[in-house]
Amino acid sequence: MTTTAAADETLTPKGTRRVDAARDHLWMHFARHSGLHQGQDVPIIVRGEGARIWDDAGRRYLDGLAGLFVVQVGHGRRELAEAAARQAEQLAYFPLWSYTHPAAIDLAERLAAYAPGDLNRVFFTTGGGEAVETAWKLAKQYWKLVGKPAKHKVISRAVAYHGTPQGALAITGIPSAKEAFEPLVPGGLKVPNTNQYRAPDHVREDGKAFGRWAADRIEEAILFEGPDTVAAVFLEPVQNSGGCFPPPPGYFDRVRAICDEHDVLLVSDEVICAFGRIGSIFACDDFGYVPDMITCAKGMTSGYSPIGAMIASDRLFEPFTKGTTTFAHGFTFGGHPVSAAVAMANLDIFERESLTDHVKANAPAFRSTLERLLDLPIVGDVRGAGYFYGIELVKDKVTRETFYADESERLLRGFLSKALFEAGLYCRADDRGDPVVQLAPPLICGQAEFDEMEEILRGVLTEAWSRI
Ligand code: PLP
């Protein structure tokens, strides 16, 4: 962490200390507020430039998580702010409810061109959870329209995160994120994920066999439930929650074949993985499969304005081209003109700076730099793809023994998150599965930032080990 001249940004317009106003009025997301009430300060980030962010005391950090897997082109891009201003001046708002506007049309055309196969139809939302919600609703209605009305259930994977609306939450596979809100939308079934490090013994050392085994669990679930009741399978190209599980070799080929055989739609939830995070604009291209729908959000604007989308194949749209048939679904701010214009400008940067090529060229260096950490006794596994990595922490590398809940609580929440931040690295220490540290920096990063991440992690993880 580097300190620059302290910013004069600690007071609200009313003259309250911002930390006090945050404690008294702001409800943060997925956050424990007890710490604030016991006098802890919440970090207040006031500025960003490239891969760096600054807090209200002028301290500088490396943004190792691109905000929240969002800021692909880096912070502080004036041209994206200008694109937003231009659009707001011209037409700040108009809905897509039976009317439209040029920014949404242009962006839909562009996304359809990037998307594989015949995924040509773009339904805009304001974020990822709404895109997932939209995909499930479309799957249900599509099957009704084509004469298979009982197909309504969805399959997703253990520990996967797919958002917080009640439908998307039913697809999410993290029990602790759901239990307070049960009962959720019925029909959300779970199968094992692709965590090779924790795979069953008989397939742990053989990626192909593991891929086959994991994909076959999807077919098993379809058969257990009855193919006539299953509408769709929701999978991330690389599963985020649990710590970046890439697909084993052959996994998506097999999943695609299973879906085709049983008339089940394959949804590629690319809310994190799209827009260069893995390498390509859409990560299904990185793994060579064509889904029936893609859900995406985050990196589409690099976070300069919110937007999400569900992109559907021609086949799924076809029944909606007839008579009075309507998809009775929408959001006031879906496809907001300012966000759509910013997305266009953001994608211009991707193309002008060849960002996807940059990620593809530098991903091996990112991996090998992080793999240097495998010499530490606490680092069990380094896994991921592109600019999206998880480092799993263990008590014993040989047995792969993980931490008890109270140890994980002390390690991740009590020490690691804060220590990494204080050492100048904003990233994520997560225990929704086994304890992991996650890294997903802006796509403009290169070896200098990789080295900095490794150095900070080395110091803090060494200290963490000495505290166990
Ligand atoms: N799907 C996936 C795979 C995600 O990672 C997320 C959020 O991180 C979501 C859906 C929900 O997106 P949002 O927070 O924009 O609603």
Residue (of 297, 340, 284, 327) closest to 168 by Cα position: 297
Are the CB atoms for 24 and 35 separated by under 8 Å?
no
pLDDT (mean) for 292-296: 99
Tell me the C-alpha distance between 199 and 201, whole Å.
6
Q: What is the pLDDT of residues 136-193, one digit of tens each?
A: 999 999 999 999 999 999 999 999 999 999 999 999 999 999 999 999 999 999 999 9
Mention every residue, 6+ apart, whose C-beta is less than 8 A from residue 233: 154, 155, 156, 218, 255, 259, 264, 265, 266, 267
The DSSP line for 397-422 is: TTTTB---HHHHIIIIIIIIHHHHHH
pLDDT (mean) for 341-353: 98
Q: Are strands 425-426 and 59-63 parallel, antiparallel or unpaired?
A: parallel
Q: What pLDDT was estimated at residue 118?
A: 98
Report the nearest atom of ligand 1 relative to the CA of 69: 8
Ligand 1 centroid from CA 17, angstroms: 32
Domain assignments of the chain as residue spans, ordered by start: 2-73+355-467, 79-352
Tell me the C-alpha distance between 149 and 423, whole Å.
55
Report the nearest atom of ligand 1 relative to the CA of 272: 5
Ligand 1 centroid from CA 465, angstroms: 32
Taking CA atoms, 257 is separated from 9, 218, 251, in Å, by 56, 11, 10
Residues with Cβ within 6 A of ligand 1? 127-129, 132, 161-163, 236, 240, 269, 271-272, 297, 308
Q: What pLDDT was estimated at residue 409?
A: 85
Q: How many CA atoms lie within 13 A of 294 on its CB side?
A: 32
pLDDT (mean) for 320-332: 98
Q: What pLDDT was estimated at residue 4?
A: 44
Ligand 1 centroid from CA 451, angstroms: 29
Ligand 1 centroid from CA 64, angstroms: 18
pLDDT band at 3 (very low <50, low <70, confident <90, very high): very low
Q: Which amino acid is at 316?
A: L
Ligand 1 centroid from CA 129, angstroms: 5
Q: Which amino acid is at 441?
A: P
Q: What residues pair up with 102 in beta bridges, in sequence order?
A: none
Residue (of 257, 268, 265, 269) closest to 231 by Cα position: 265
Q: What pLDDT was estimated at residue 244?
A: 97
Q: Which amino acid is at 23?
A: R
pLDDT band at 297 (very low <50, low <70, confident <90, very high): very high
Q: What is the pLDDT of residues 357-403, one digit of tens each?
A: 999 999 999 999 999 999 999 999 999 999 999 999 999 999 999 99
pLDDT band at 8 (very low <50, low <70, confident <90, very high): low
pTM above 0.95, yes or no: yes
DSSP state of 230: E
Ligand 1 centroid from CA 296, angstroms: 8
Where helices occur in 92-145 by DSSP H, the ranges are 102-114, 128-145
Distance of CA 265 to the CA centre of its chain: 21
**Is domain 79-352 given the CATH code 1.20.1050.10 in the classification?**
no
Ligand 1 centroid from CA 243, angstroms: 15
Q: What is the pLDDT of residues 451-462, one digit of tens each?
A: 999 999 999 999
Residue 5 has pLDDT above 70, yes or no: no
Taking CA atoms, 308 is separated from 144, 232, 249, 367, in Å, by 25, 20, 29, 29
Are the CB atoms for 162 and 172 separated by under 8 Å?
yes
pLDDT (mean) for 205-214: 98
CATH class of 2-73+355-467: alpha beta
Closest residue to atom 2 of ligand 1, CA basis: 162
Closest residue to atom 10 of ligand 1, CA basis: 162
Tell me the C-alpha distance between 298 and 310, whole Å.
13
Ligand 1 centroid from CA 271, angstroms: 5
Q: What pLDDT was estimated at residue 412?
A: 79
Ligand 1 pocket test, candidate residues 162, 174, 430, most atoms within 8 A of CB: 162
Tell me the C-alpha distance between 217 and 130, whole Å.
27
Written in H, E and C, the secondary structure of 7-62 is CCCCECCCCCEHHHHHHHHCCCCCCCCHHHHCCCCCCCEEEEEECEEEECCCEEEE
Closest residue to atom 12 of ligand 1, CA basis: 128
Report the nearest atom of ligand 1 relative to the CA of 295: 1
Tell me the C-alpha distance between 192 and 175, whole Å.
14
pLDDT (mean) for 225-250: 98
3-state secondary structure of 1: coil
Q: What pLDDT was estimated at residue 7?
A: 46
pLDDT (mean) for 85-109: 97
Paired tokens of 329:
């679904």
pLDDT band at 6 (very low <50, low <70, confident <90, very high): very low
Q: What pLDDT was estimated at residue 405?
A: 87
- Between 18-27, 274-283, 347-356, the lowest mean confidence (pLDDT) is in 18-27
Q: What pLDDT was estimated at residue 318?
A: 98
Q: What percent of the chain has pLDDT over 90?
A: 91
Report the nearest atom of ligand 1 relative to the CA of 270: 3
Closest residue to atom 7 of ligand 1, CA basis: 163
Q: What is the pLDDT of residues 412-455, one digit of tens each?
A: 778 999 999 999 999 999 887 889 999 999 999 999 999 999 99
Tell me the C-alpha distance between 438 and 399, whole Å.
22
Ligand 1 pocket test, candidate residues 136, 272, 282, 310, most atoms within 8 A of CB: 272
Ligand 1 centroid from CA 130, angstroms: 9
Q: Which amino acid is at 78?
A: R
